[in-house]
Amino acid sequence: MSSEIKGVLPVVLMPYTDAGAIDEDDFHSQAEHMLDVGCSGFVVGQVSEVMRLTTFERYRVAELMVEAAAGRGLAIMSTGGESAESAIDYSVHAQDVGVDALLLMHPSALACNDDEMVEYFSRLIRAVEIPVIIHHAKSMAKQPLSIDAQVRLFEEFGPDRVMFKPEASPTPPRVTMLRDRTGGQARIFEGDGGMMLLDCHRRGLVGTIPATETAEIVVALWNLLEAGERALAEPIAHRLSYLMCHMMNSIDCYCALGKHLLKQRGIVKATHTRGPVRFELDSETRDEVERIYFPLLDAARAANLLNSARTH
């Protein structure tokens, strides 16, 4: 199963109605957009505001993912929690409704040591049968998940059951360490919004997990790197990295800017984010992000058209 989980798998930016409920139509709109532009599937993850959802909403979102994927792509649900018990509940439910894999995030309220992290993740992996991606969220972790801990999980469960999305800085050297410590067998995803994809790809990735608003851009970049076209990939990668410098200052910042761009393109109707929020989008930041984003989108579309012509 894990051999099929690869490629570009963007994260849905959770859409809300004016009344504050999940906007299921806009959820479907994002999923359809990602699949239409060549993504392998999609993810509900950290910038989906998953930790701000109610328990019922997390159940419903897992069901919604399977509906939206509709057999066209992979559906991967984030099921971490502040206890193994809550995470197991979310994980088993997501598996039972038909998601393809789980994105397992660690507890974030306390700084867990390696033994505590390994025990937590091991309990979750044993509770399900589908593959899992171990997610170290650097913006929420009180203590980084060590390479040793990841290797322990790999050695116990193997590449068909456990994959990795390491985000502790600096990401590229840690990708290399995890690759080398597992004999090149660990299945690793880049998770910095594509910011370090140019460097991380050459170190041995199976995929990347950006977000909806950059889906076309990252598909173009990924395809160029997979084809060995680094010279063509660099202009896209460099501009994407600059864009991510603006967006990745916090989850609230990312959600505000990403949803703004999706609304500008007509993919979602509103830009609501659940509070409490510690970011307010100012006009100068908005204008600078748009100045970079839309020409970059045009360049990515041109690259995707060229790649399509080559492969046909």
Q: What is the pLDDT of residues 173-196, one digit of tens each?
A: 999 999 999 999 999 999 889 999
Confidence of residue 106 (pLDDT cuts 50, 70, 90): confident
Provide the whole-model pTM.
0.95
Confidence of residue 109 (pLDDT cuts 50, 70, 90): confident
Confidence of residue 33 (pLDDT cuts 50, 70, 90): very high
Name the burial class of residue 59, with classes exposed (0-12), middle (13-18) and buried (19+) by CB atoms within 10 angstroms of its CB: middle
Instruction: Tell me the domains of the chain and their CATH numbers.
Output: 2-311 (3.20.20.70)
Instruction: Provide the pLDDT for residue 207.
Output: 98
Q: What is the pLDDT of residues 136-162, one digit of tens each?
A: 876 666 678 899 999 999 999 999 999
- Does residue 101 have a pLDDT over 60? yes
Residue 18 DSSP code: T
Region 266-276 average pLDDT: 96
Taking the C-alpha atoms of residue 181 and residue 151, their distance in angstroms, rounded to an integer, is: 7
Instruction: Provide the pLDDT for residue 176.
Output: 96
Q: What is the pLDDT of residues 205-241, one digit of tens each?
A: 999 999 999 999 999 999 999 999 999 999 999 999 9
Q: At 89, give phi and psi (nearest 5°).
A: -60, -50
Q: Given the structure tokens 């997610």, which residue do they identify? A: 135
Taking the C-alpha atoms of residue 200 and residue 183, their distance in angstroms, rounded to an integer, is: 17
Alpha carbon of 228 to those of 84, 225, 254, 261: distances in Å? 42, 5, 30, 30
Taking the C-alpha atoms of residue 153 and residue 172, their distance in angstroms, rounded to an integer, is: 20
